[in-house]
Structure 1
Amino acid sequence: MARAHPWYLTFEPRPDARLRLYCLPCAGGGPSMFRDWAALLPGWIEARAVRLPGRQGRHREPAPTDAGRAVAALLDGLSDGLTGDYAFFGHSMGALLAYRMTRELARTGAAGPRLLAVAAWTPDGAPHEAMPDPAASDADFAAAIRGLGGVPDELLDDTLLRAALPVLRADFELCRSHVREPGPRIAAPLVAMGGAGDGVIPPALMEVWRTEAADFRGLHLYPGGHFFLHDHAAELTGLVARTAGSVLDAPARS
């Protein structure tokens, strides 16, 4: 039975897990994006699907529109679980938040994640012209959402899409608010994943991660576009598990 926390859902609680994996969704997404991950991950990893304000159980709360404030709220809301061995996985906007959270933890001297796994995003963010414009009319904004490809069919229903527009607008405003700040390379091991045919974050842009991490664990490309993870959940969870396992089993550095 799923266990609910104000900031995440655990679809398959594993109290004896060696690693807690916080999974952060893309713009417009919620915990249900990661419903199948628990069954795909090995028993020593507990997946915690982050739920942001404005969606899936938190509909009455305003969705954040500023990346810095969203990161501060996330770190506060998740603080009771950001101890011991934990990791972040984020897709698109979720990768932005995971990246910024990791940087903020390092800035404050707090213990950071043992692994940062990022998909379909870059430290510089997405080119504005590749993202839907949150200031556009409903018709133009909805058309841009459809044009991203890979958006679940049920969300493309006109009635449901209209209902989701406020959260989607807020999420894309959040994405546009991100500005990469100078600083030391990320100390946590980092593994990056992308869609070979992603028109929002092309593979060439993903290469920037190589210079962002002191311990870069590779860029892995999969067939598909920006939402490639929908068709490759088994491969992604396998990669995350293998990489996390190698990190946890590595001898401590002196």
Structure 2
Amino acid sequence: MSLSAAESWFRRYSGGNHPALRLVCFPYAGGAASLFRGWGSRLPDGVELLAVQYPGREDRRREQPIGEMAELLDRLADAWAELPDVPYAFFGHSMGATVAYELATRLERTTGQGPVHLFVGAAHAPGTGTVPTDAPPERLAEHIDRYFGGLPAQIREDQAWVRRLTLLLAADFALYRSHRPRPGAPWRLGAAITGFAGDRDRAVPAEHMASWADRTAAGFDLRVEAGAHLFIRDGWAPVVDTVSAVLRPRLLG
């Protein structure tokens, strides 16, 4: 039995049958939906947690990764249209922040229903930072060590996993480089944006995230967390607590 587009793209990790609010999380380059599996235990009751599963990883590992940002957004928008209509917020980290913002602006423009809040981690606002490396796959592990805090030990020791991860990163970085922001002034979301930066992030230092203030008409707030670029890989609990505090008033109103 084939899956619907929504079932292919979104993994549900928490929430009852009738959630009051939906939080959708977008992984970083090389990341997968399971990165957010534990977040549901710290989110308020009434929040449905969905995580995007890009092709080429975990239960979609046999699918080819998507190499064009426009195609990725088209397919995500099609999958989104199949979900029940519930107020929503987006969280995206690194590459995922760009995907989250671009999908949010598309939904706001085309349906009039943008997110109630956008959370972005370790990312320049689209069109303001440098694009990811175009180094060949065999040099990507070196790039990760220098800028992204290194590979987990269990992956570093498994050369097959290293090869798979570096090939996946090469594909994701190519997708990221394909992104072309809309011409003209950037779209300013009607919702506020909260940014998260790692205090040891060499790829996107905290001060580089100030450009997100130009992507919202409702205010930008920045939180600095302990860690390097992928700080949500291990130190995600404080991030989820902040997300919960921001979303909780939405559940009461």
TMscore range, shorter length: 0.7 to 0.9
Secondary structure, counterpart of 1:172 in structure 2: helix
Task: State the one-letter code of the partner of 2:59.
Answer: G
- State the percentage of identical aligned residues: 33
Q: Is the CA contact 1:65–1:173 (under 8 Å) kept in the aligned structure 2? A: yes
Distance 1:68 1:215, change over 3 A: same
Distance 1:82 1:127, change over 3 A: farther
1:190 aligns with 2:189: no
Secondary structure, counterpart of 2:62 in structure 1: coil
Residues 132-151 of structure 1 aligned to structure 2 (within 5 Å): 132-133=133-134, 136-147=135-146, 148-151=148-151
1:196 and 1:173 map into 2 onto residues whose CA distance is 27
Task: State the one-letter code of the partner of 1:121.
Answer: A
> What do the CA deviations read for 1:53-95 (whole angstroms, capped 9, x no partner)?
1111111221111112111111111222262211111111111
Distance 1:46 1:109, change over 3 A: closer
Residues 201-240 of structure 1 aligned to structure 2 (within 5 Å): 201-240=204-243
Residues 47-126 of structure 1 aligned to structure 2 (within 5 Å): 47-81=49-83, 83-123=85-125, 124=127, 126=129
> What do the CA deviations read for 1:5-46 (whole angstroms, capped 9, x no partner)?
211211334223211111110101101101110111122212
Unpaired runs of 5+ residues, structure 2, are 1-5
Distance 1:161 1:34, change over 3 A: same
Unpaired runs of 5+ residues, structure 1, are none
Secondary structure, counterpart of 1:36 in structure 2: helix
Distance 1:99 1:82, change over 3 A: farther
> What does residue 164 of structure 1 align with?
165
> What does residue 30 of structure 1 align with?
32
Q: Is the CA contact 2:144–2:150 (under 8 Å) kept in the aligned structure 1? A: no
After the TM superposition, which segments of 4 or more aligned residues of structure 1 sit over 6 Å from their partners? none
Aligned length: 243
1:32 and 1:56 map into 2 onto residues whose CA distance is 8
Task: State the one-letter code of the partner of 2:163.
Answer: R
> What does residue 155 of structure 1 align with?
155
What's the CA shift for 1:166?
2.6
Secondary structure, counterpart of 1:9 in structure 2: strand
What's the CA shift for 1:164?
2.4
1:180 and 1:197 map into 2 onto residues whose CA distance is 28
Secondary structure, counterpart of 1:239 in structure 2: helix
Of the structure 1 ranges 207-216 and 228-237, higher mean CA displacement relative to structure 2 is found in 228-237
Give the alignment's TM-score, normalised by structure 1: 0.87
Secondary structure, counterpart of 2:55 in structure 1: coil
